[in-house]
Amino acid sequence: MKIGIVGGTGDIGEGMALRLSPIFDLVVGSREKEKAVATCQMCTSTLKTRGHECSITGVSNQEAVDNADVVILAIPFKHVVPTLETLHGFEDKIVISPVNPMEKREFFTFVPPPEGSAALMVKRLLPPEVKICSAFNTIAANRWKALDEELSYSVPVCGDDDGAKQEVMAIVNRISQLKAFNAGPLAVSSMVESLTPLVLNIARYNKMKDVGIQFR
């Protein structure tokens, strides 16, 4: 299985690349291919000093879509529409949305699009053959990059295609100590996405850092 990251040079994309490339065959995309190549060189060097081999290639966002079986949209909510409008070839692929529509006002607040969630908006923007799941929504960018620490979080996964959802959950369960949970259909993704501003507010008002969630 080859995994592609669209927007792989942002904070979350880079962190995911560091965690996923020793496990999966990874292609990291960016609007500027040179940035993707630089991110991959950084990942390779960082992981090599830790004694880890990795499989990672820097490409354009379009090449990340073309060359992957599973595509992760590691992009801010405000960039989802303009980014997807420039890309094609998603048919019959699994697309993972960790995107959270929120704003920082007096406090962090959930600001969903008319569809109700970022994942449902992605579904509207992409061809009907695409199998869309939401996952990884509540993991902070800093935690992805903290390679000395295990990721001991629960990861709700939403999706309408059960086979795709099981594949995404299997990917989640291979990363550090993450534990995937079937959260139901894609319509539930609004509830999951709204958890992120909640945990950010908890971290802020309780002077905590990189709060996550666990189901027990």
Query: Alpha carbon of 137 to those of 32, 90, 133, 179: distances in Å?
Result: 25, 21, 11, 13
pLDDT digits (tens, 9 = 90+) for 138-175: 999 889 999 999 999 999 999 999 999 999 999 999 99
Cα separation, 19 vs 54, in Å, equals: 10
Residue 53 CA, distance from chain mean position:
22
- Averaged pLDDT, 45-58: 95
C-beta separation of 154 from 215 below 8 A? yes
Q: Which residues pair with 58 in a beta bridge?
A: 28
Is 210 among the domain residues? no
Q: Percentage of the chain surpassing pLDDT 90?
A: 96
CB 115 within 8 A of CB 132: no
Q: Assess if residue 188 is contained within a domain.
A: yes
In a domain, 213, yes or no: no
pTM for the model: 0.96
Question: 4: left (phi > 0), else alpha (psi -120 to 50), else beta?
Answer: beta
Give the domain extent around 154.
Answer: 2-205
Summarised one tens digit per residue, pLDDT across range 86-104 is: 999 999 999 999 999 999 9
Whether the pLDDT of residue 210 is over 90: the answer is no
pLDDT of res. 121: 98
Instruction: Work out how many domains the chain is built from and give that number.
Output: 1
How confident is the prediction for the chain on average, in pLDDT? 96
CATH of the domain at 43: 3.40.50.720
pLDDT in tens, 3-49: 999 999 999 999 999 999 999 999 999 999 999 999 999 999 999 99
Mean pLDDT within 99-126:
97
Please check whether residue 216 lies inside any domain of the structure.
no
One-letter amino acid for residue 205 of the chain: Y
